[in-house]
Amino acid sequence: MKMAKTSQTSSVKQIRGRLIRTLLKAFAIVVSLLIVSMIGVTILTILQNAGQNPFFRAPNASLLEAFYIGKGNWNGINSLLNQSDMPGGPFNGLDWHGSVLADPNGMVIVDHGSQTSSMIGKLYQPQPDQNIVRLTVNGEIVGYLIQDRMDRFHPLRYTFSVINPIILISFSLGILTLVFAILLTQRVVNPLAEVIDAADRVGKGDFSARVPPGKSNDDLSALSNQFNLMAAELERNDSERKAMTADIAHELRTPLTVLRGKLEGIVDGVYPANEANITTALEETYLLERLVEDLRLITLAENHQLHYESKSVDLKPLTQKVIDIFQPQAQEQKVEIRFSASENVPAILADPQRVEQVISNILANSLRYIQGQGKVELDLSASSKDVILSISDNGPGVPEDQLPYIFTRFWRSEKSRARATGGAGLGLTIAKQLVEAQGGRIEATSPSEGGLKITLTFPRETPA
């Protein structure tokens, strides 16, 4: 037991580890996709608007466009260049020596800060490593600023200056979320791991597997509780199946043993092949036939495959008919059968053949267990909604703690209603199936004066 418990704990830990790793992978993927998407969208948005935003352009280009707007041409550009060299001037610090100013046709206007260069007025051929900035006024190209040095693109530099703190905050929030996720593993991962482990054990045939019941009203607790109910039902069904198999084998073995003994005795000459011995063997075949038919009937009833021909049934004459059938057997056993019925008992809607079979099974059960002189009392009455037929006997009775099992297949009270009295223990099981399939109820009680009382309750027929 201790080894099994240790193995179970190890299995739960392995499953819990797999679940945690899966959650962490999913979390990492989501966070990574979120950060990459955020960076990509930010960069794309800044780049799309960089051309219209002077903040992202070279300062020289914005100053030249302003000069052109004021002058309407490039005449007098030398004055702007001179102001850049004036200490304390408004444009001090601007570098013109690393760029070329050309008109819209590509003719050089200013060559690296000089208007006296031999290149002035000539077509300029930009080099591959130079950066060309278009100068526009009112949407019209008025010139080009060709820079020798390709500085880091301003929008990109600005993008990273904005993204860096966002990335830092995202990772901080991610770590915080991870901490909360680890704290919540006992709330989420642990119950799932236990359910998965228990389901695996049930799948391997261990129907005793259970998970700790949930203590809250959330879905995980409901899952645990429903799993336990399912496992308990599977365990009960498995136990019933094994018990039924053993009971069937036991019930078949007795008549088969008698039948075989008789036939072997006749073959070996121990018993004469006369009518008495053959009749004994034949009776055992009848017993086997009844047992097989009872099992077939129970199976059909449990699977809702039994056909019912429902019609209006008056229980008073039907019950009397069954009593008349059993009267000879009762007289032979010196058992008195009494039947009383209230006046104007309404009809029920049921299959008369099946109802007759139910009453017959109960009467046969009572006669089987009554020892010596006894009595069986049947009482038919009605309430505002139901028709009630009770059948009671003064036989040995059934202990209160065993009453819930009286309708179970092959059940017999070991002390009072033993195997020696005969019967396979299927009659009351069949009665229960036939009654409930037609909307009725059946229950067994032990009266204070002794014996057994079985009550059948059927709904009254509703007028059309």
Indicate the SS3 state at residue 455.
strand
315 shares a domain with 298: no
At residue 340, φ and ψ (nearest 5 deg) are -130, 145
Number of domains within the chain: 4
Domain assignment present for 392: yes
285 shares a domain with 328: no
> CB of 160 within 8 A of CB of 32?
no
Domain assignment present for 234: yes
Mean pLDDT of 175-189: 71
Residues near 203 by Cβ (< 8 Å), separated by ≥ 6?
A: none
Cα–Cα distance between 121 and 12 in angstroms, integer? 84
Bridge partner list, 439: none
Last residue of some domain: 280, 302, 324?
302
Residues near 148 by Cβ (< 8 Å), separated by ≥ 6?
A: 98, 99, 112, 129, 130
Domain range enclosing 52: 1-58+153-204
188 shares a domain with 101: no
Domain assignment present for 212: no
Mean pLDDT of 289-306: 78
Q: What's 107's DSSP letter?
A: B
pLDDT at 28: 73
224 shares a domain with 199: no
263 shares a domain with 166: no
pLDDT at 158: 60
Cα–Cα distance between 102 and 117 in angstroms, integer? 13
Q: Give me the CATH number covering residue 269.
A: 1.10.287.130
- Residues in the chain, how many? 464
247 shares a domain with 106: no
Last residue of some domain: 302, 327, 342?
302
Domain assignment present for 298: yes
159 shares a domain with 197: yes
- Segment 224-244, tens digit of pLDDT: 888 888 888 888 878 777 766
389 shares a domain with 435: yes
Q: How confident is the model at residue 152 (pLDDT cuts 50, 70, 90)?
A: very low
pLDDT at 44: 73
pLDDT at 60: 79
Q: Which residues of 293-332 are buried (b: 16+ CB within 10 A; e: fewer)?
A: ebbebbeebeeeebeeeeeebebbebbeebbeebeeebee
Give the residue among 364, 391, 389 at the shortest CA–CA distance from 377. Answer: 391
- Segment 59-98, tens digit of pLDDT: 778 888 888 888 888 888 887 777 766 665 556 556 777 8
280 shares a domain with 349: no
Q: How confident is the model at residue 459 (pLDDT cuts 50, 70, 90)?
A: very high
Cα–Cα distance between 93 and 234 in angstroms, integer? 88
Q: How confident is the model at residue 421 (pLDDT cuts 50, 70, 90)?
A: very low
339/304: higher pLDDT? 339
> CB of 429 within 8 A of CB of 362?
no
Last residue of some domain: 204, 235, 270?
204
Q: How confident is the model at residue 181 (pLDDT cuts 50, 70, 90)?
A: low
Alpha carbon of 132 to those of 120, 139, 144, 149: distances in Å?
18, 17, 7, 10
Mean pLDDT of 394-414: 76
Instruction: Find the distance separating the first CA and the last CA of the chain, reported in whole Å.
Output: 64
Q: How confident is the model at residue 426 (pLDDT cuts 50, 70, 90)?
A: confident
pLDDT at 418: 42
- Segment 102-143, tens digit of pLDDT: 899 989 888 888 878 888 888 988 888 788 888 888 889 989
Amino acid at residue number 211: V
Domain assignment present for 228: yes
- The overall average pLDDT reported for the chain is 79
Q: Which two tokens stand for residue 416?
A: 């009072």
For CA atoms 186, 188, 192, 195, the dihedral sign is: positive
Domain assignment present for 32: yes
442 shares a domain with 377: yes
pLDDT at 441: 94
Mean pLDDT of 294-316: 83
Mean pLDDT of 3-25: 65
Domain assignment present for 210: no
Does the pLDDT value for residue 5 go beyond 60? no
pLDDT at 341: 92
162 shares a domain with 16: yes
- Segment 335-368, tens digit of pLDDT: 999 999 998 899 999 999 989 989 998 998 888 8
Please tell me the least confidently modeled range out of 126-130, 182-186, 287-291, 403-407. Answer: 182-186
> CB of 413 within 8 A of CB of 399?
yes
Does the pLDDT value for residue 420 go beyond 50? no
Give the residue among 393, 390, 402 at the shortest CA–CA distance from 371. Answer: 393
Does the pLDDT value for residue 274 go beyond 70? yes
Q: Give me the CATH number covering residue 368.
A: 3.30.565.10
Give the residue among 201, 220, 178 at the shortest CA–CA distance from 21. Answer: 178
Domain assignment present for 161: yes
> CB of 370 within 8 A of CB of 395?
yes
10 Å CB burial of residue 87 (0-12, 13-18, 19+) is exposed
Does the pLDDT value for residue 414 go beyond 80? no
40 shares a domain with 9: yes
pLDDT at 87: 64
pLDDT at 2: 46
